Amino acid sequence: MTTETKTCVACGATYSRSPRCGKAQFAKRKYCSRSCPGMKRPDVRSDYRVTVDGCWEWLGHIDRNGYGRAYEPTAPAGKRTDWAHRVSYRVHVGQIPPAHDIDHTCQNTCCINPSHLEVVTRAEHVARTFARLGKDEEKFKAAALRGGGLTYAEIAEALHLAGRESAHGMVKAAIRKGLVAPSSLPPSPFLSEDEKSDVRDLHAMGIPQTEIAAWYGIDSSNISRLLRRRTT
């Protein structure tokens, strides 16, 4: 039986398909290993574009809510995927104190310029958010209730919305507008179609499946099945 081989696009090494790797998965594979020295993941030190307003707009993965995500190899296992602006702050400034948030003073959610990022207490972050609210107050309320652990159905009932999907849409809008930090909300037990697409994008960047799974709060086997295009 002939062993299937490919050439790594990063370092040029030849590697073989293991028995545990399906043919379709192997066909999509680009790198010899997750630790390939030639693999280039987007880096907060260099992979951004500077705008006329001085923002450093992240050139790595941007999710559907406008927030960048980055891989931080020096972080503990299971915590190496994080919001790009938080990674940038840690790299350029220092550690973020416990129970504190990062506020985008420029209100540009994909900005990673440390001079546009300010560590604030969660109470201060909420106060600043309220000051920016205006007509978006209902969206913030929905996100706050979700952050408190309510289901979307319960949020719809509490705010007299049309239903679960309406509540979900308001929470997503609050994240997109920067009214609430995505990290303050509990992970969804099931991945949406947008989140599944994000998972594939993150995996294509070379981020390990275990780190993606830890980010979404699900088992890595679910990520593996998703990448093999099975239902999760």
| Segment 136-191, tens digit of pLDDT | 788 888 888 888 778 888 888 888 888 888 888 888 888 887 778 787 787 776 78
HSE (CB half, 13 Å, CA atoms) of 51? 13
Structural domain contains residue 31:
yes
Q: Can you give the residue range of the structural domain that contains 20? A: 1-39
Amino acid identity of residue 93, one-letter, is V
Percentage of the chain modeled with pLDDT above 90: 23
User: Residue 207's closest CA among 227, 186, 229?
Assistant: 227
Tokens of 225: 């099945």
62: Cα separation from own chain's centroid: 8
Q: What is the pLDDT averaged over residues 41-53?
A: 92
Please classify residue 129 by burial: count the beta carbons closer than 10 Å to its beta carbon, then call 0-12 exposed, 13-18 middle and 19+ buried. buried
Structural domain contains residue 29:
yes
Number of domains the chain is built from: 1
Q: What is the pLDDT averaged over residues 105-124?
A: 91
Structural domain contains residue 232:
no
Structural domain contains residue 191:
no
Report the C-alpha gap between 57 and 26 in whole angstroms.
33
Does 232 score more than 50 pLDDT?
no
Structural domain contains residue 23:
yes
Report the C-alpha gap between 66 and 194 in whole angstroms.
13
| Crossing angle (nearest 10°) for helices 164-176 and 137-147 | 100
Q: What is the pLDDT averaged over residues 93-108?
A: 91
The mean pLDDT of the chain is 84
Structural domain contains residue 7:
yes
pLDDT (0 to 100) of residue 205:
86
Structural domain contains residue 17:
yes
Structural domain contains residue 14:
yes
pLDDT (0 to 100) of residue 95:
93
